[in-house]
């Protein structure tokens, strides 16, 4: 059977094909008590079996956090005060998304390829079953993008991937402090003339560790014990402070 696989590989890879060999600086990120954001270094090389064909070679790196459903609300003035009125629901919006490239996305990636691989932000946020309470869901999706770009949950880093010596490249992607736990998918695309030549997939696991893990699990799995623990902590602190200061004063 092995010879069949080898033959299939040879057939699948046309002459002059280029592919990516890539690595990550780390494949797990731990959220500990002093966690203040992290950085992932994505590096790689372009492997060629023949001289490079015409057209510039481009690299796109995306990092995508676990998708969660979100509700986008719009404030409106009612009776003089600003309150939430309309809402749109999005089934799956990534909690984090960064796209880093060697050049402007518009010129290095065609629309059809974008549609196929879901690379740019509008393609990533899928609006399924929206428009529940609002007139124009597109406006809300735009607002979601704008808000998350502002608090750096979404980042578009055009030109942030650097080529070193024609075939080696690297990209540094900063993860913010307000990360959601889960699997972060790292994708690498090699494009030429807007077409994707090769793609690679990697996964980075983001998890709370140590004290953070313990407290979070306790709060979710044993809410009664957690609640009582919070109260005992408060009572002991209150009692301790009053006793301590009385001793200090006398």
User: 72 or 188, CB closer to another protein?
Assistant: 72
Exactly one of 4, 6, 220, 247 binds another protein (CB under 8 A); that residue is 220
Q: By rule CB under 8 A, what count of residues binds another protein?
A: 62
51 near another protein (CB under 8 A): no
- Which residue intervals of 35-150 are DSSP H helices? 105-108, 111-117, 121-124, 137-150
188 CB-side CA count, 13 A: 24
CB < 8 Å & 24+ apart, contacts of 240-249: none
Q: How near is the Cβ of 1 to another protein at its closest, in Å? A: 47
How many angstroms separate the Cα of 57 from the Cα of each of 54, 143, 162, 193? 9, 33, 12, 8
117 near another protein (CB under 8 A): no
Answer whether 188's CB lies under 8 Å from 24's CB. Answer: no
Exactly one of 21, 52, 87, 105 binds another protein (CB under 8 A); that residue is 87
Binding site for another protein (CB under 8 A): 31-37, 68-77, 80-84, 87, 89, 95, 132-133, 140, 143-144, 146-148, 177-178, 180, 208, 211-212, 215-216, 219-220, 223-224, 226-231, 233-235, 237-243, 245
């Amino acid at each position: 059977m092995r010879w069949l696989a080898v033959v299939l590989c040879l057939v699948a890879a046309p002459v002059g094909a280029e592919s990516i060999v890539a690595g990550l600086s780390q494949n797990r990120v731990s959220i500990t008590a002093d966690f203040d954001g992290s950085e992932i270094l994505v590096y790689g090389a372009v492997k060629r079996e023949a001289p490079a064909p015409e057209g510039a070679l481009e690299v796109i790196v995306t990092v995508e956090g676990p998708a969660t459903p979100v509700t986008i609300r719009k404030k409106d003035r009612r009776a003089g005060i600003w309150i939430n009125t309309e809402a749109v629901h999005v089934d799956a919006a990534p909690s984090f998304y960064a796209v880093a490239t060697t050049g402007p996305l518009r010129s290095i990636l065609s629309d059809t390829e974008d549609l196929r691989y879901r690379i740019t932000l509008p393609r990533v946020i899928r609006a399924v079953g929206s428009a529940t309470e609002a007139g124009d869901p597109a406006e809300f999706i735009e607002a979601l993008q704008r808000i998350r770009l502002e608090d750096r949950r979404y980042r578009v880093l055009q030109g942030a991937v650097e080529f070193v010596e024609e075939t080696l490249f690297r990209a540094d992607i900063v993860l913010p402090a307000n990360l959601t736990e889960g699997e972060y998918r790292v994708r690498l695309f090699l494009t030429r003339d807007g077409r994707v030549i090769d793609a690679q997939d990697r996964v980075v696991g983001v998890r709370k560790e140590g004290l953070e893990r313990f407290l979070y699990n306790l709060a979710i799995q044993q809410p009664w014990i957690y609640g009582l623990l919070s109260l005992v902590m408060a009572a002991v602190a209150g009692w301790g402070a009053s006793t301590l200061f009385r001793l200090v004063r006398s």
